[in-house]
């Protein structure tokens, strides 16, 4: 009776193993194809903004996937060329001033513009430094990213006792939601890893570890100190027990 049960258990474990292996092979591929197809499909909608007679499917009789991506790249490129010259800068400055006078619109537009400039500018300092910070309370640490400096008016309102740094604490597994907090400089621990490695570590719930530094390996790390069984026993030994040990 025990032999058929053991055989059934082995078969069940083998099926589970092979099913999980198949999922691990196909899931990343399916998600990657789905994301790329979604981006291409969304970009192809740009073609519909053209007049009907200018749309490529009117010339060739059918729609070619990916034309929207090419159109988006060309639009971004020529917009950058236009904005880089003197005339383009003047026109964009006038456009910014116009939108800056419209209620509600000015708040949204100016906020998005400043955030995008901070994230995409070559001279930015934001999100270049992964750090560890005590959050949500002391002695509990989490990964965060330095997001900028503290405004002068706000810096004066913070408790004295050190310089403060603004950091962004992402949530797991969705890093687009998180917390903007201000931490003392002395409480911040810089991490020797890139922003991409830190983000992958956060998104994967700590399962995707950063690459080891050159010249080090997990085997070279000192073993974790385990409990000393003799130290756990506080009962004094008798003379006979000492001789036996």
Residue 57 is assigned to a structural domain of this protein: no
Residue 142 is assigned to a structural domain of this protein: yes
What is the domain range of residue 203? Answer: 130-211
Per residue in 13-41, pLDDT (tens digit) is: 888 888 888 888 888 889 888 888 888 88
> Would you say the pTM of this structure is higher than 0.75?
no
Residue 173 is assigned to a structural domain of this protein: yes
Give the side-chain half-sphere CA count within 13 A for 129. 16
Q: What is the pLDDT, as a whole number, of residue 118?
A: 64
Q: What is the pLDDT, as a whole number, of residue 213?
A: 52
Q: Provide the pLDDT confidence category of residue 2 given band limits of 50, 70 and 90.
A: low
Residue 11 is assigned to a structural domain of this protein: no
- How many domains is the chain built from? 1
Per residue in 159-195, pLDDT (tens digit) is: 876 788 888 898 887 777 888 888 888 888 988 888 8
Q: Provide the pLDDT confidence category of residue 231 given band limits of 50, 70 and 90.
A: very low
Q: What is the 3-state secondary structure (H, E, C) of the chain?
A: CHHHHHHHHHHHHHHHHHHHHHHHHHHHHHHHHHHHHHHHHHHHHHHHHCCHHHCHHHHHCCCCCCHHHHHHHHHHHHHHHHHHCHHHHHHHHHHHHHHCCCCCHHHHHHHHHHHHHHHHCCCCCCCCCEEEEECCCCCCEEEEEEEECCCHHHHCCCCCCCCEEEEEEECCCCCCCEEEEEEEHHHCEECCCCHHHHHHHHHCCCCCCCCCCCCCCHHHCCCCCCCCHHHHCCCCCCHHHHHHC
Residue 23 is assigned to a structural domain of this protein: no
Residue 143 is assigned to a structural domain of this protein: yes
**Higher model confidence: residue 234 or residue 33?**
33
**Whole-number Å distance between alpha carbons of 235 and 9:** 46
Residue 17 is assigned to a structural domain of this protein: no
> Is residue 167 within 8 Å of residue 145, measured between CB atoms?
yes
Per residue in 32-85, pLDDT (tens digit) is: 888 888 888 877 777 777 776 677 666 776 666 677 778 788 888 888 888 888
Residue 235 is assigned to a structural domain of this protein: no
Q: What is the pLDDT, as a whole number, of residue 100?
A: 83
Q: Provide the pLDDT confidence category of residue 121 given band limits of 50, 70 and 90.
A: low
């Amino acid at each position: 009776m025990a032999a058929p049960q053991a055989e059934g258990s082995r078969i069940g474990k083998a099926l589970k193993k092979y099913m999980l292996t198949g999922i691990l092979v196909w899931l990343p591929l399916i998600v990657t194809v789905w994301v790329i197809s979604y981006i291409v499909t969304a970009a192809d909608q740009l073609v519909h903004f053209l007049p009907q007679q200018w749309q490529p499917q009117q010339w060739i009789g059918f729609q070619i996937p990916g034309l929207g991506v090419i159109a988006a790249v060309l639009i971004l490129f020529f917009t950058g060329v236009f904005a880089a010259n003197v005339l383009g800068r003047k026109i964009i400055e006038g456009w910014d001033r116009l939108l800056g006078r419209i209620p509600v619109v000015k708040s949204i537009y100016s906020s998005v513009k400043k955030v995008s400039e901070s994230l995409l500018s070559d001279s930015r300092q934001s999100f270049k430094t992964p750090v560890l910070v005590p959050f949500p309370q002391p002695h509990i640490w989490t990964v965060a990213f330095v997001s900028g400096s503290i405004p002068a008016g706000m810096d004066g309102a913070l408790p004295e006792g050190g310089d403060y740094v603004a950091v962004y604490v992402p949530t797991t597994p969705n890093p687009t939601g998180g917390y903007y907090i201000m931490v003392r400089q002395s409480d911040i621990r810089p991490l020797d890893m890139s922003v991409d490695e830190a983000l992958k570590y956060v998104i994967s719930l700590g399962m995707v570890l950063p690459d080891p530094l050159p010249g080090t390996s997990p085997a070279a790390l000192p073993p974790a100190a385990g409990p000393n069984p003799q130290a756990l026993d506080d009962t004094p030994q008798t003379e006979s027990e000492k001789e036996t040990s």
